Amino acid sequence: METKHLLAPMMGVENSQAVREAAAILRRGGLVAIPTETVYGLAANALVPEAVKRIFVAKGRPQDNPLIVHIADMAGIESLIRTMPPCAVKLADAFWPGPLTMVFPKTDLVPDVVSGGLDTVAIRIPAHPVAREIIRTAGIPLAAPSANRSGKPSPTTAQHVLEDLGGRIDAVLDAGPCSIGVESTVVSLRSGTPHLLRPGGITPKELETVAGNITMDAAVLSQMQADETPASPGMKYRHYAPQTKLVLVQGSWKEFLAYVLGKDKPYGVLCFDEDAQAAPQPCLTYGSIHDANQQAVQLFDALRRVDTLGVGTVYVRAPAAEGVGLAVYNRLLRAAAFRVVSL
């Protein structure tokens, strides 16, 4: 299959030829990678099981890992979920459209293949104007996981999508790089109170300001045991990972440098912009130590470059796990298969 590279206009998204073409493919049951403010998503008609199944095939995704359903506005939610607790209404008012996904008890309209057999469904209203216009033009809810091959870092550019899925999907709609760079915050409202399943663009503090106390799933910061049933199936898989072995190293620059200089060559490092001049080579960077938003924007591109360094191991200087940095840390932890050294 040839993957069409459609260019979304920077301005005047409405009525654009590229958006109409993408929407037509989706209505026919095809697969289109679409831009969102977090990462690119691989979209299909969420209400047609055959279309959704193609997502799992293209990505090589395990069937029990459920998908997020994307809608354009609140009118789209009623037929998909059974109840919406008051705190969810507050969260929706505050953060939709935006990088927040909420998990609710699902209706029968949501196919089992979308929910991975669970009785819940994850919903998001994305803020990206192109994403919203596609959903509106197609007139259907879109199931969309991140548009990477399963296990690889999520794509933040159309080029990343084509590297992973070129020839396996109908089209990619290119609207340039994503502005947030890590996936949405996932919160379960299954029990009525917010439970954080995956940190992302909306921080725990922002959630608490609006919804009061939230609880955090154990899987956010630690490894699931083989016999545990995770609240969010995606948490149990190796994820975001290059082929190269990563080790996450927590400590000051001085401590980090002393630690890596004691290692046998060849190895590489992934550190902050401020560290680069004094870093051993080869070295990649993922933004400023002082700017978690910038780290989020650059992280997945840097992880995709790690394999080009031609070394067996890359030592990564760990970010502060606060604010959006919690999401950056969470992704690195998985990319490093939970290999962490604290100095």
**Residue at 20: amino acid letter:** R
Count interface residues toward ligand TXA (CB under 6 A): 27
Binding residues for ligand TXA restricted to 101-130, rule: CB under 6 A: 101, 103, 115, 118, 120-122, 124
Alpha helices in 243-291 (DSSP H): 253-261
45 binds Mg ion (CB under 5 A): no
Tokens of 258: 């002393």
Pick from 129, 110, 128: nearest CA to 118: 110
Q: Tell which one of 22, 31, 32, 41 touches ligand TXA (CB under 6 A).
A: 41
- Which part of the chain contacts ligand TXA (CB under 6 A), choosing from 22-30, 179-187, 274-282, 330-338? 179-187
Per partner kind, with CB cut-offs from 5 to 8 A, the member of Mg ion, ligand TXA, none near residue 137 is none
Interatomic CA distance for residues 343 and 335, integer angstroms: 20
CA distances from 261 to 278, 284, 302, 315 (A): 12, 16, 22, 11
Whether residue 98 contacts residue 201, with contact meaning beta carbons closer than 8 Å, is answered with: yes
Whether residue 266 contacts residue 312, with contact meaning beta carbons closer than 8 Å, is answered with: yes
Q: Tell which one of 16, 45, 232, 294 touches ligand TXA (CB under 6 A).
A: 232
144 binds ligand TXA (CB under 6 A): yes
146 binds Mg ion (CB under 5 A): yes
Which CB atom, from 200 or from 319, has the smaller least distance to Mg ion?
A: 200
Whether residue 252 contacts residue 165, with contact meaning beta carbons closer than 8 Å, is answered with: no
CA distances from 115 to 68, 100, 303 (A): 8, 18, 29
Binding residues for ligand TXA restricted to 46-75, rule: CB under 6 A: 65-68
CA gyration radius for the chain?
20
Per-residue contact string for residues 246-285; x = within reach of ligand TXA by CB under 6 A? ----------------------------------------
Residues that bind ligand TXA (CB under 6 A): 36, 38-39, 41, 65-68, 101, 103, 115, 118, 120-122, 124, 144-146, 183-184, 186, 197-198, 232-234
Residues that bind Mg ion (CB under 5 A): 146
